[in-house]
Protein backbone atom coordinates (compact mmCIF):
# COMPACT_ATOMS: atom_id res chain seq x y z
CA UNK A 1 0.00 0.00 0.00
CA UNK A 2 1.49 3.32 -1.06
CA UNK A 3 1.46 6.13 1.50
CA UNK A 4 0.92 9.59 -0.01
CA UNK A 5 0.86 13.19 1.17
CA UNK A 6 -2.90 12.97 1.66
CA UNK A 7 -2.49 10.30 4.34
CA UNK A 8 -2.19 10.86 8.08
CA UNK A 9 -1.09 8.49 10.84
CA UNK A 10 -3.25 8.96 13.94
CA UNK A 11 -1.61 7.54 17.08
CA UNK A 12 -4.30 7.04 19.69
CA UNK A 13 -3.71 7.30 23.46
CA UNK A 14 -0.30 5.65 23.85
CA UNK A 15 -0.15 6.90 27.45
CA UNK A 16 1.36 5.51 30.63
CA UNK A 17 -1.98 4.58 32.18
CA UNK A 18 -2.85 2.36 29.19
CA UNK A 19 0.50 0.55 29.23
CA UNK A 20 1.70 -2.17 31.64
CA UNK A 21 1.80 -0.83 35.18
CA UNK A 22 -0.77 1.86 34.40
CA UNK A 23 -4.15 2.41 36.03
CA UNK A 24 -6.05 0.98 33.03
CA UNK A 25 -3.40 -1.14 31.38
CA UNK A 26 -4.21 -2.70 28.03
CA UNK A 27 -2.59 -6.17 27.86
CA UNK A 28 0.67 -5.79 25.96
CA UNK A 29 -0.07 -2.12 25.37
CA UNK A 30 3.56 -1.07 25.15
CA UNK A 31 4.14 -3.59 22.34
CA UNK A 32 2.53 -1.16 19.90
CA UNK A 33 5.33 1.38 20.35
CA UNK A 34 8.10 -0.31 18.29
CA UNK A 35 5.63 -0.88 15.44
CA UNK A 36 4.49 2.75 15.51
CA UNK A 37 8.07 4.00 15.65
CA UNK A 38 8.98 1.84 12.66
CA UNK A 39 6.15 3.02 10.41
CA UNK A 40 6.06 6.69 11.45
CA UNK A 41 8.80 7.66 9.02
CA UNK A 42 6.60 6.59 6.10
CA UNK A 43 4.01 9.28 6.86
CA UNK A 44 4.39 12.98 6.13
CA UNK A 45 1.68 13.74 8.69
CA UNK A 46 1.35 12.39 12.22
CA UNK A 47 -1.39 13.28 14.72
CA UNK A 48 -1.58 12.21 18.36
CA UNK A 49 -4.57 11.87 20.67
CA UNK A 50 -4.40 12.03 24.45
CA UNK A 51 -7.03 11.04 27.01
CA UNK A 52 -7.20 14.06 29.32
CA UNK A 53 -9.68 13.62 32.15
CA UNK A 54 -10.38 15.98 35.03
CA UNK A 55 -10.48 14.53 38.54
CA UNK A 56 -13.90 13.08 39.28
CA UNK A 57 -14.64 12.39 35.62
CA UNK A 58 -18.00 10.73 35.07
CA UNK A 59 -16.44 7.61 33.51
CA UNK A 60 -14.43 6.80 36.66
CA UNK A 61 -15.45 4.01 39.03
CA UNK A 62 -14.73 6.43 41.87
CA UNK A 63 -17.16 9.03 40.51
CA UNK A 64 -20.84 9.35 41.39
CA UNK A 65 -21.52 11.67 38.43
CA UNK A 66 -23.58 10.57 35.45
CA UNK A 67 -22.16 10.82 31.94
CA UNK A 68 -24.05 12.39 29.09
CA UNK A 69 -24.26 10.20 26.03
CA UNK A 70 -23.16 6.59 25.59
CA UNK A 71 -21.27 5.21 28.58
CA UNK A 72 -21.63 1.46 28.95
CA UNK A 73 -18.50 1.05 31.05
CA UNK A 74 -17.00 2.68 34.10
CA UNK A 75 -13.21 2.54 34.35
CA UNK A 76 -10.55 2.89 37.03
CA UNK A 77 -9.43 6.50 37.40
CA UNK A 78 -6.99 7.05 34.55
CA UNK A 79 -5.24 9.71 32.48
CA UNK A 80 -6.00 12.46 34.97
CA UNK A 81 -4.86 15.84 33.67
CA UNK A 82 -1.30 16.70 34.63
CA UNK A 83 -0.42 13.29 36.11
CA UNK A 84 2.27 10.87 35.01
CA UNK A 85 -0.41 8.42 33.92
CA UNK A 86 -1.74 10.91 31.39
CA UNK A 87 1.71 11.46 29.84
CA UNK A 88 2.65 9.75 26.62
CA UNK A 89 4.74 6.64 27.18
CA UNK A 90 8.39 7.78 27.23
CA UNK A 91 9.36 5.30 24.51
CA UNK A 92 6.94 6.97 22.10
CA UNK A 93 9.17 9.45 20.30
CA UNK A 94 7.33 11.25 17.51
CA UNK A 95 8.77 14.76 17.39
CA UNK A 96 7.30 15.36 13.92
CA UNK A 97 3.73 15.08 15.22
CA UNK A 98 1.78 18.08 13.99
CA UNK A 99 -1.16 17.95 16.41
CA UNK A 100 -1.98 16.67 19.88
CA UNK A 101 -5.74 16.35 20.32
CA UNK A 102 -6.84 16.07 23.95
CA UNK A 103 -10.18 14.40 24.55
CA UNK A 104 -12.39 13.47 27.48
CA UNK A 105 -11.73 16.77 29.24
CA UNK A 106 -15.43 17.54 29.89
CA UNK A 107 -16.30 16.24 33.35
CA UNK A 108 -19.76 14.96 32.37
CA UNK A 109 -18.94 13.58 28.92
CA UNK A 110 -16.45 10.95 27.84
CA UNK A 111 -14.80 10.73 24.44
CA UNK A 112 -13.59 7.43 23.02
CA UNK A 113 -13.45 8.81 19.49
CA UNK A 114 -10.98 11.44 18.32
CA UNK A 115 -13.80 12.90 16.19
CA UNK A 116 -16.90 12.96 18.43
CA UNK A 117 -17.66 12.93 22.12
CA UNK A 118 -19.67 9.98 23.43
CA UNK A 119 -22.94 11.83 22.92
CA UNK A 120 -22.14 11.13 19.22
CA UNK A 121 -23.02 14.71 18.25
CA UNK A 122 -20.41 17.00 19.85
CA UNK A 123 -17.41 17.26 17.48
CA UNK A 124 -13.85 17.50 18.72
CA UNK A 125 -12.83 19.60 15.72
CA UNK A 126 -10.51 16.96 14.28
CA UNK A 127 -12.57 16.39 11.14
CA UNK A 128 -12.45 20.08 10.28
CA UNK A 129 -8.72 20.22 10.92
CA UNK A 130 -8.09 17.23 8.66
CA UNK A 131 -10.26 18.63 5.88
CA UNK A 132 -8.49 22.00 6.03
CA UNK A 133 -5.16 20.20 5.84
CA UNK A 134 -6.31 18.25 2.80
CA UNK A 135 -6.01 14.79 4.36
CA UNK A 136 -8.00 12.11 2.58
CA UNK A 137 -7.02 8.86 4.28
CA UNK A 138 -6.47 8.19 7.98
CA UNK A 139 -4.43 5.30 9.41
CA UNK A 140 -5.03 4.49 13.08
CA UNK A 141 -2.71 2.87 15.61
CA UNK A 142 -2.54 2.74 19.40
CA UNK A 143 -4.77 1.91 22.35
CA UNK A 144 -7.20 0.39 22.65
CA UNK A 145 -8.16 -1.35 19.42
CA UNK A 146 -11.75 -2.04 20.48
CA UNK A 147 -12.44 1.35 22.07
CA UNK A 148 -10.64 4.60 21.29
CA UNK A 149 -8.87 3.37 18.15
CA UNK A 150 -11.96 1.67 16.80
CA UNK A 151 -14.40 4.49 17.54
CA UNK A 152 -11.98 6.96 15.96
CA UNK A 153 -11.60 4.87 12.81
CA UNK A 154 -15.36 4.43 12.42
CA UNK A 155 -15.97 8.13 12.95
CA UNK A 156 -13.28 9.02 10.42
CA UNK A 157 -15.20 6.99 7.87
CA UNK A 158 -18.50 8.56 8.96
CA UNK A 159 -16.85 11.96 8.48
CA UNK A 160 -15.95 11.21 4.86
CA UNK A 161 -12.34 10.02 5.14
CA UNK A 162 -10.95 6.71 3.99
CA UNK A 163 -10.11 4.87 7.19
CA UNK A 164 -7.71 2.04 8.00
CA UNK A 165 -6.62 0.41 11.26
CA UNK A 166 -3.06 -0.93 11.46
CA UNK A 167 -3.91 -4.09 13.37
CA UNK A 168 -0.43 -5.03 14.59
CA UNK A 169 0.07 -1.47 15.87
CA UNK A 170 -2.91 -1.84 18.25
CA UNK A 171 -3.84 -3.87 21.31
CA UNK A 172 -7.34 -4.59 22.64
CA UNK A 173 -9.03 -4.75 26.03
CA UNK A 174 -11.81 -7.12 24.82
CA UNK A 175 -14.55 -6.46 27.36
CA UNK A 176 -17.69 -8.57 26.85
CA UNK A 177 -17.05 -9.18 23.16
CA UNK A 178 -15.99 -5.62 22.38
CA UNK A 179 -13.49 -6.74 19.72
CA UNK A 180 -16.14 -8.62 17.76
CA UNK A 181 -18.57 -5.72 18.10
CA UNK A 182 -15.99 -3.22 16.90
CA UNK A 183 -14.99 -5.33 13.91
CA UNK A 184 -18.66 -5.55 12.93
CA UNK A 185 -18.68 -1.74 12.95
CA UNK A 186 -15.55 -1.74 10.78
CA UNK A 187 -17.36 -3.89 8.22
CA UNK A 188 -20.46 -1.70 8.37
CA UNK A 189 -18.56 1.56 7.86
CA UNK A 190 -15.89 0.43 5.40
CA UNK A 191 -12.92 0.60 7.77
CA UNK A 192 -10.16 -1.64 6.45
CA UNK A 193 -7.64 -3.61 8.50
CA UNK A 194 -4.03 -3.50 7.34
CA UNK A 195 -0.72 -4.80 8.64
CA UNK A 196 2.31 -2.58 9.14
CA UNK A 197 4.30 -4.82 6.83
CA UNK A 198 2.06 -3.86 3.95
CA UNK A 199 2.64 -0.12 4.27
Residues tagged active-site: 13, 103, 148
Residue 148 makes CB contacts below 8 A (sequence gap 6+) with 12, 13, 49, 51, 112, 113, 114, 142
With 0-12 / 13-18 / 19 or more C-beta atoms within 10 angstroms meaning exposed / middle / buried, residue 192 is: middle
Residues 28/171, Cβ–Cβ less than 8 Å: yes
CA-to-CA dists, residue 162 to 82, 121, 140, 192, angstroms: 34, 20, 11, 9
Residue 144: asked if its preceding bond is cis (omega within 30°), the reply is yes
Amino acid sequence: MEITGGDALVVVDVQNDFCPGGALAVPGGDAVIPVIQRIASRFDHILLTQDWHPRGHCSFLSSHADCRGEQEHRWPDHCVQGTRGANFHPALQLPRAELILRKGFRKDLDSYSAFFENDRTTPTGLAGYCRERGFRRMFFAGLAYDFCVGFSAVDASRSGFESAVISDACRAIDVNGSVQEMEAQFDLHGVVLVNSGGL
